[in-house]
Structure 1
Amino acid sequence: MSNEDRPVGRRAVLRGGLASAVALGAAACTPGTGSTQTEPSSGSGTMSGTPNATAGRAQGTAPPEVHTTDARPQVLRTPGADVDHGPRSASGVALTFHGAGDPGLTREVLAICREHGAGITVFAVGTWLTAHPELGRALVAAGHDLGNHTWSHQPMLRLGRAAAAAEIRDGARAVAAIKGSNPLLFRPSGTQHSTPLLRATARAAGYERCISYDVDPMDYLDPGATAVARGTLEAVRAGSIVSLHLGHRGTVQALPAVLTGLGDRGLTARSVTELLA
């Protein structure tokens, strides 16, 4: 995506606290060799809006500073191609997680984020979120983003319009059932990039943009914590959106090293809406 890069200042924020009904956590969300119509991202990149007070995050024992951020950045309200990164001039990086898998691992991720004062975004699979709504509530209460990753994690590039629409619509309903979730965040399953058909179908469900990513350490292959951390930190840069997966032990074990490595580079883990605000 082409963004109108403008700096976003560092914000210390107040954070509150946060097996699988289906074996979705292990499923890869990158296109296979038979995928078609992957296209580079572009868009208006306009980022503006009226700030709303949000839940924050506390880092360590330092007194928190309450901040405000636009819960619906302009770029997410403007039709266009996939959003695969934020402003390159900013200090933020969005760590995004495909939401499925062992609830205990999700709680560990929340605890690590709370300790580091990090913001994340979880694109929840609807069946998983419906089975574990308490995790969705905990994510939102801690100030993180909660978005839609379809109802049952089907390979979206292989679906016809009606089936794709049902996956997006039913996933949206599951997310909407969690008060405070974001109604504009959608990531299609089974592919890094959307297609014209997927974008039109998502738009009909209220999503003007699909959220993609520019960093993929392929953690769903379970290469181990060291490989996940290295793959993330070698590829990440300011404004990156990183694709990670809940439900994988190696990802959880890699997260402290990822957050420390980002901090050493002057980068801050933020939610997608914070990155794009």
Structure 2
Amino acid sequence: MPEENPTVGRRALIGGGLASAVGIGIAACSTSSPQPNGSTGAGATTGASTGGAATSTPAATASPTGTSATGSPDAVPAILRTPGPDVRRGPSAVPAVALTFHGAGDPALTHRALQVLADHGAHVTVFAVGTWLSQHPELGRALVAAGHDLGNHTWSHQTMPRLSASAARTEVEKGAKAVAAIDGSSPYLFRPSGTPTSTPTIRAAARASGYARCISYDVDPSDYLDPGAAAVASRTLSAVQPGSIVSLHLGHPGTIDALPTILRGLASRSLQAVPMTKLMA
């Protein structure tokens, strides 16, 4: 249906679940278990790794068009709109990495992170918990205005494999609506909560809200365990490679304290911190 506002058109598709026309399942999604401050823990991913090019043939979907998180029509890479396995890392030929944050916790920490990122000219992706984003929409607006990607990390951060099909669908759908309420957010970025792999139930719930793939990662410094800033930085920098996707958490002070060291370390290796939509482009 034609829309006067293309962004509204895209979000209407997500909120109403019309993108369930995607007919191919997605493989294992993000790893995590519930942690304090609404953040998530992480374990070893077991899903298929996705490189810089889509390996599946694009299927007919109800993927909407309009303004993406990058601010231009259809700027979200096709690989994120194409059904397939979870995205565990980007192309290794690209001198960039994606720092991805689970969005929850003390708003003051998010403001600190925004300042550090601005100071270093870096951009990241935040997968926001819907309840947190709904309580602090100004944070979502600030993230998008600063050029960061904003995606969905479910509504209330449940352990999704324990949920019924109906409950799982509600978690994804309500999270998608919370993200869509922030102008300029991305309707293609989803990371499930409370599981190292997706299940058929999670995949169906994701498809129903328009998510062709889940975003996982290949670098996990276990910052949710609060090992200290030095440990978070050293674990990240020792594991990161060109194309890596790093799992971090906004709700932990040690992570924010580690961020300047991480960004300086990346720069020393000529690696740029970029949003998911840019890494996968």
TM range (shorter): 0.7 to 0.9
Correspondence 1:79 to 2:87: no
Amino acid corresponding to residue 167 of structure 1 in structure 2: E
The residue number in structure 1 matching 2:172 is 168
The Cα of 1:207 is off from its aligned counterpart by 0.3
Q: Which residue number corresponds to residue 183 of structure 1?
A: 187
Q: Which residue of the other structure, out of 106, 109, 125, is the alignment partner of 2:110? A: 106
Structure with the higher fraction of residues in helix conformation: 2
> Which residue identity lines up with residue 39 of structure 1 in the other structure?
G
Structure-2 separation of matches of 1:170 and 1:274: 26
Matched, 1:28 2:40: yes
In 2: Cα distance, 1:107 partner to 1:263 partner: 22
Deviations 1:48-83 (A, max 9, x none): 9x9979769xxxxxxxxxxx7963111111101100
TM-score by length of 2: 0.79
Q: TM-score, normalised by structure 1?
A: 0.80
* Closer, same or farther: CA 236–135 of 1 in aligned 2, 3 Å: same
Residue 53 (structure 2) aligns with: 45
- Find the residue that maps to 2:254 and give its secondary structure: helix
Partner of 1:17: none
- Could you tell me which amino acid in structure 1 is paired with residue 48 of structure 2? P
Alignment-mate amino acid for residue 218 of structure 1 = S
SS in 2 for 1:122: strand
Write the mapping of 1:141-152 to structure 2, written as runs, cut at 5 A: 141-152=145-156
1:197-240 deviation per Cα after TM superposition (whole angstroms, max 9, x unaligned)? 31222011100000000000000000000000001001100000
Kindly state the Cα deviation for residue 135 of structure 1 after the two structures are TM-superposed. Answer: 0.2
Counterparts of 1:54 and 1:203, CA distance in 2: 20
2:240 maps to 236
1:214 to 1:126, Cα distance in 2 relative to 1, 3 A:
same
Deviation at 1:126, TM superposition (A): 0.3
Aligned equivalent of 2:271, options 244, 249, 267: 267
Structure 2 counterpart of 1:217, one-letter code: P
Q: Deviations over 1:24-65 (max 9, x none)?
A: 535433259xxxx953335893399x9979769xxxxxxxxx
Alignment CA distance shift 1:264-1:253 (3 Å): same
1:227 and 2:231 are equivalent in the alignment: yes
Q: Distance in 2 between matches of 1:216 and 1:263?
A: 19
The answer (yes or no) to whether the contact 1:140–1:146 under 8 Å persists in 2 is: yes
Amino acid across the alignment from 2:40: A
Q: Tell me if structure 2 keeps the 8 A contact 1:43–1:80.
A: no
Q: Flag structure 1 segments of 5+ consecutive residues without an equivalent.
A: 2-22, 57-67
Alpha-carbon spacing, 1:238–1:124, altered in 2? closer, same or farther (3 Å)? same
Among candidates 245, 248, 252, match of residue 256 of structure 2: 252
